[in-house]
A and B are shown apart, each in its own frame.
Chain A
Amino acid sequence: MTHFSWLLDGSIVGVYLLVTMIAGIMVRKYVGKVEDFIVAGREMNVYLGIASLAATEFGIVTAMYTAQAGYTRGFAGAIPGICNAIAMFAVGYSGFCVTKLRDSGAMTVPELFEKRFGKFVRWLAGVVIVLGGLLNMGVFLRVGGQFLVVCCGMNLKYLEMAMTVMLVGVAVYTIMGGMLSVLVTDFLQFVVMSIGLLVVTFLVLDKIGWDTLVTTVERNMGPGGFNPFVHKDLGWSFVLSNLLTNIACVLTWQTCVARFLAAKDSKTGCKVYTGTAFFFICRWVIPGIWGIAALASVAPDTLAAIGLQFGEKDSSLFAMPYLLSQIVPAGMMGILVAAMLAADMSTDSSYMLTWGSVIYNDIIGPFRKVAWSDKKGLLWNRFIVALIGLFLLFWGLWYKLEGNLWEYLQTTGTIYLASMSILLIACCYWSRANNWGAIAAIIVGAALPVIALSINHLIQVPVLDAAGQAIVRDGKQLTEGWAKHHIGDNYVNIGTYVCVAIAMVVGSLLKSRSERN
């Protein structure tokens, strides 16, 4: 039984949604050209950038996987957030790569690559960015819907309808106002989201207490729940893998870098990065605490029943929304759901827009023989955003997630993060880098994670307990993918970065040598 009151809380959520939609649609009149649509006419200033980036990078999906990390790994689960904050602050402070990217006048990362590596590399980079990005964001909608079902006690049969309505709403203002609508609605969502996060965290600390949280982690995970280096499933490979992923994210993740490119100048962009860095710790610590609180107070059987309801193998994802449905009172529930919807809408709109801009600018762009008028360009951008919305809807409806959500996001992201970050660094700082190296790096960077995902899907091995016996749950033997079992997701991730760097160097040197000969 949840405390969500459809009259009181539903009204709060309804008013919030209405205000957001109106604000998002109202700014459409300021969109006159493609640059306004993709990078807000490069008029974004520091504080709007910080609010927008913080809102975009926190969706329901973020709350779900960070809470899952807290539930399964304790406080040590928040390490990716610390790595992210360090990476963002360091890049923002030094201007490493991003300053050169912004100063080049490019609207996307692949556009910069064309200047150095040619048209084909720009197109290929666009393809892997879109492939990795779409696979990544494909799970957002379903996870968001699951949160609402568990937290509000909504009937499961309305899940698809609720998801569709929300996505259509987001798509409408994103299609009309592009980055301008995204920035303005992100700002509103940042305010609502912050209030919701604070209120719920104080409530959790008050009801569960710090002492219980600490004791729960000690009892379930031992010292590994506080220190990732001594955690049996984490260790140095987890920390290194997350550091690499987060540096690459800060440099090339479309939603991050789009904010940098929308900034007035590179100095403003750097300030946005340094100012947002600490929010990345917040986005892991706050839901992480909710996850630990769920571990302390929700019975595993209850979670297993919820997991069965959704047909998901891993029920740890539902611990946090179930806890919130039990402890957040009516009235406050409306604020929580509005905050979570705010978080989700800002994420969805920004993802649709920024990946759409890569399709327009870098996949279709190189085939344009003559420059398109702004009217035609805007029409195409809007059409692409609508298509991504449709993809999100259908992929989100049928894809079933197996295992840890964060690892899925990390692996699908690596399809392009590894190659794009190495390409960007080489493009900015290595004079001998050329298109051979770039093409080799992109192919290796996309192939390795896809091979690992495919092997995991096709070859399953039994999960063994400490005594070496196969674990059986509900009459079925527990299995996991071969690559995950024998190599591990973190080593696949680290290995991909190493192989991509080698491919870049070897490919570039081979071309230099062949040209000399």
Chain B
Amino acid sequence: MKTIIDMLTKHWVWGLLTIAVLAWYCTITVYVSYKGFHDIKEMLRNLAKDHEKKEVHK
């Protein structure tokens, strides 16, 4: 708690930016990881479909 108060009182611009960076990593990263996993599944599914189509054409 002392660190957070220090960050907001001593050179608060950099303190606030550091808090924002840590908050970003704690939240957005989790969200991106969750959604990114689904993107991988979708990407591989689409590529597999594409390959199947190609095989049928052959």
Question: Are B17 and A285 touching (Cβ within 8 A)?
Answer: yes
Count of A interface residues, CB-CB < 8 Å: 43
Query: When chains A and B are docked, how far (Å) is the Cα of A187 from the Cα of B43?
Result: 13
The CA of A27 and the CA of B6, in the complex, are separated in Å by: 48
Say yes or no: B47 contacts A30, CB within 8 Å: yes
With contact pairs A43-B46, A281-B21 given, residues A226 and B14 touching in the complex (Cβ less than 8 Å): yes
Bound complex: CA of A278 vs CA of B50, how far in Å? 34
Main secondary structure of the interface of A (DSSP, over half): helix
Within the complex, which residue of A226, A275, A285 is in contact with B21, where a contact is CB–CB below 8 Å? A285
Q: Which of B11, B33, B37, B38 contacts A226 (CB 8 A)?
A: B11
Given contacts A187-B40, A194-B25, A197-B25, contact A75 B14 (CB under 8 A): yes
Within 8 A of A (CB), among B3-58: 3, 6-7, 10-11, 13-15, 17-18, 21-22, 24-26, 28-29, 31-33, 35-40, 42-44, 46-48, 50-51, 54
> CB-defined interface of A1-37 with B at 8 Å, one 1/0 digit per residue?
0000000000000000000000000010010100010
Q: Does A296 reach chain B (CB closer than 8 Å)?
A: no
Q: Is the CB of B21 within 8 A of A282?
A: yes
B37 CB contacts on chain A under 8 angstroms: 187
Question: How far does the Cβ of A153 sit from chain B's closest Cβ, in whole Å?
Answer: 28
A residues less than 8 Å from B3 (CB atoms) = 205-206, 209-210
A71–chain B nearest beta-carbon distance, Å: 15
CB pair B33–A183 under 8 Å, yes or no, is: no
Pair B25/A282 contact, Cβ less than 8 Å: yes
Contacts of A289 in B (CB 8 A): 18
Residue among B11, B21, B39, B51 with the most chain A CB within 10 A?
B21
User: Given A44-B43, A180-B47 in contact, is the A286-B36 Cβ separation under 8 Å?
Assistant: no
Which residues of chain A in 41-58 are interfacial with respect to chain B, using CB atoms and an 8 Å cutoff?
Answer: 41, 43-51, 54
Q: Are A48 and B6 CB-contacts (below 8 A) given A198-B26, A282-B25?
A: no
Q: Is the CB of A36 within 8 A of B24?
A: no
* Interface pair A47/B35, CB less than 8 Å apart: yes
Choice from A32, A190, A211, A282 contacting B36 with Cβ under 8 Å: A190
Contact of A48 among B17, B26, B39, B51 (CB under 8 A): B39
User: Chain A residues with Cβ under 8 A from B46's Cβ?
Assistant: 41, 43
How many angstroms from the CA of A279 to the CA of B21 in the assembled complex?
8
Are B50 and A47 touching (Cβ within 8 A)?
no
In the bound complex, CA of A49 to CA of B26 (Å): 19
Q: Per a CB cutoff under 8 Å, which of A44, A50, A210 touches B32?
A: A50
Establish whether residues B36 and A198, one from each chain, have CB atoms under 8 Å apart when the complex forms: no
B31: nearest chain-A partner, CB-CB: A47
In the assembled complex, the Cα of A183 lies from the Cα of B31 at a distance in Å of 17
Let me know if A425 is at the binding interface, CB within 8 A. Answer: no
B52 to chain A: closest CB distance in Å?
A: 11
The smallest beta-carbon distance between A272 and chain B, in angstroms, is 11
User: In whole Å, how far is B43's beta carbon from the nearest beta carbon of chain A?
Assistant: 4
Complex CA gap A281/B38 in Å reads 26
B40 with A43: CB separation less than 8 A: no
Residue of B nearest to A202 (CB): B22
Contact indicator A183/B32 (Cβ below 8 Å): no
Quick one: which of A30, A46, A214, A282 contacts B44, CB cutoff 8 A? A30
Kindly supply a per-residue 1/0 record for chain A positions 169-201, scoring 1 wherever the CB is within 8 Å of any chain B CB and 0 otherwise: 000000000001001100100110010011001
Cα A27 to Cα B47 in complex, Å, equals 10
| Complex CA–CA separation, A201 to B25 (angstroms) | 11
Q: List 29 A-B contacts (CB under 8 A).
A: A30-B47, A32-B51, A43-B43, A44-B43, A45-B39, A45-B42, A45-B43, A46-B35, A47-B36, A48-B36, A51-B33, A180-B43, A180-B47, A183-B40, A183-B43, A184-B40, A190-B33, A201-B22, A209-B6, A210-B6, A210-B15, A211-B6, A214-B11, A226-B13, A226-B14, A275-B32, A279-B24, A281-B21, A282-B21
Extra contacts besides A30-B47, A46-B35, A184-B40 (6): CB < 8 Å: A43-B43, A180-B43, A205-B3, A226-B13, A282-B21, A286-B21
Residues of A within 8 A of B (CB): 27, 30, 32, 36, 40-41, 43-51, 54, 75, 180, 183-184, 187, 190-191, 194, 197-198, 201-202, 205-206, 209-211, 214, 226, 275, 278-279, 281-282, 285-286, 289
Task: State the B residues within 8 Å of A (CB).
Answer: 2-3, 6-7, 10-11, 13-15, 17-18, 21-22, 24-26, 28-29, 31-33, 35-40, 42-44, 46-48, 50-51, 54
Q: Which 9 pairs from chain A and chain B are nearest by CB?
A: A48-B39, A47-B35, A45-B39, A47-B36, A210-B6, A51-B36, A194-B29, A30-B47, A43-B43
